[in-house]
Amino acid sequence: MASNSLIKNMPPNLAQQLPTEILNEILVKLIRGGVTHLPLDLLAASLACTSWNLVARDISRDFAFLLNLFRRPADLEDVTRLVALLTESRSLGLKLVANESVTLHLKTLFISLEENDSDSESSSLEEVFFEQYSEAMGSAVISLFALGFAAPRLLRIMCEDVPNSSDTNHSMSLFFSRIRPHCAYVEILHLKENFGQRSTYHVTPLIAPLITSLSPKLTTLKLDSIDLGNDLKTVLSHCSCIKNLDAIEIDPEEIVALLPSWPSLTSFNFAMNTGSSHSLDPLLIELGLTVPGLQHLTLRFLSDPISWSPSDPSSAALAFCVAHCTELQSLNITNAAWLADLFLRVLARHGRRLHTLRLQSCTNIVGGDSVFRRGGAGSPQEVRWPELEELVLTGSPVRSGFVEKVVKACPKLFIVRMLGHACTEKLEEFGFRLDERGETWIRG
């Protein structure tokens, strides 16, 4: 790399006299032609002098590229060099913006080793690969935290398939205990099983002490395809300040057991595969019983609905939930073939604070006359959504009569998104116009 040799051999006084446009051209090449996974050459060049530092920061958007270190498994050489550069930067009085969002790939902490296994019967040599905790990588990552490079508000731990042995578990326990003092500002914790392997049940107990230390400030929890286990559930039950919960491919029964510990929960995002063997009904009922102050509810089913199956949730359970969670402001449901008008009838009466209603690909919802009668066949009732601003019905075969009644009853309704043009005349009468894509009606 010519640019690297130029920097190394350039006299200091000449370096400071370079015109900005020439300096900019040199430093840009450190990104495009770098041999490292991260353009650390640019960071190194920024330490030459004040003018170089200013230009390098401008090129790199204040070294935003360093975020990549935590977005994928890192290389030991990169991390070690970064620690050295940050140490030098600190000694020069230069400060880099600390990463508020940090992802720890546990796989990064291990190195693959190879040995030959001799088969006495065949006299052949077979290559055997195994993984061992890397003390060097662990120490380097901890140094990044200690230097203030990582000061996370959001901490994401990727629990990939890592070895299970007493030595490994001991090393990882020490690692988590050493980063604990540097995670004092974490408010969002995301635990994710890589590719849904669900083979790291031995890892979650090792993380438990770290979560205990985070519990006073932890307000948002994201659980993705991970087995909680008794140790982790016990620790999470002590995180009493949780307000936002995302649960993807988590056994609903485990969430049911934890909900009473989170009375301040205001937002719940749950996703599972259609036709899962786990029943969602107890979870919906528990939400209504223990979290009446819930404001945002999202239910996503991760495969396209083909037909209703006995293992699917029931409209009655969701109706119970919305009847008790009367503070709901947004309700988003996707791919729920099981959802029927019973739910809409209850929501019409109890959704007084609803701002957003999205029912996408809910193929059994039609918005029939029963929605507007108490008990389905009793006295008429109106839709009581005075705060509704957005209605999304894409992929759901809702009748035009339902949309007309909602538009009449909801003076703040601003956006209607649906397929087809059955309500064109009525929507235009109420001042809506179709956008250029032909998908969204906007009032005004």
Same domain, 56 and 15: yes
**Is pLDDT larger for residue 29 or for residue 56?**
56
Same domain, 26 and 130: no
Please list the alpha-helical segments (H only) found in 148-190. Answer: 166-179
Kindly report the CA angle at 287 between 285 and 293, in degrees rounded to 5? 135
Give the residue from 186, 215, 242 where a domain finishes: 242
Residue 405 resides in a domain: no
**Residue whose token pair is 């009922």:** 285
Same domain, 50 and 148: no
**Is pLDDT larger for residue 324 or for residue 86?**
324
The answer, yes or no, to whether residue 303 has pLDDT greater than 80, is: no
Mean of the per-residue pLDDT values for the chain? 83
Distance from C-alpha of 326 to C-alpha of 294, rounded to nearest angstrom = 8
Q: What is the pLDDT of residue 274?
A: 66
Asked if 416 and 441 count as a contact pair (C-beta separation under 8 A), the reply is yes
CB crowding 233-268: b at 16 or more within 10 Å, else e: bebbeebeebebbbbbbbbbebbbebbeebeebbbb
Q: What is the pLDDT of residue 98?
A: 79
- Name residues whose C-beta falls within 8 Å of residue 216's C-beta, 6 or more positions apart in sequence: 241
Average pLDDT of span 264-268: 97
Q: Each residue of 246-256: pLDDT tens digit?
A: 999 999 999 99
Average pLDDT of span 402-430: 86
Give the residue from 242, 259, 292 where a domain finishes: 242
The answer, yes or no, to whether residue 424 has pLDDT greater than 80, is: no
The answer, yes or no, to whether residue 264 has pLDDT greater than 70, is: yes
Same domain, 237 and 114: yes
Same domain, 46 and 150: no
State pTM to two decimals.
Answer: 0.84
Same domain, 138 and 34: no
Residue 429 resides in a domain: no
**Is pLDDT larger for residue 38 or for residue 286?**
286
Q: Each residue of 66-80: pLDDT tens digit?
A: 766 666 667 888 889
3-class DSSP state of 62: coil
**Is pLDDT larger for residue 424 or for residue 379?**
424
Residue 379 resides in a domain: no
Number of domains the chain contains: 2
Domain containing residue 154: 98-242
Q: What is the pLDDT of residue 125?
A: 43
Residue 372 resides in a domain: no
Same domain, 219 and 102: yes
Residue 236 resides in a domain: yes
Q: What is the pLDDT of residue 275?
A: 62
Tokens of 115: 């040995």
- Neighbour count for residue 160 (Cβ, 10 Å): 19
Asked if 378 and 410 count as a contact pair (C-beta separation under 8 A), the reply is no
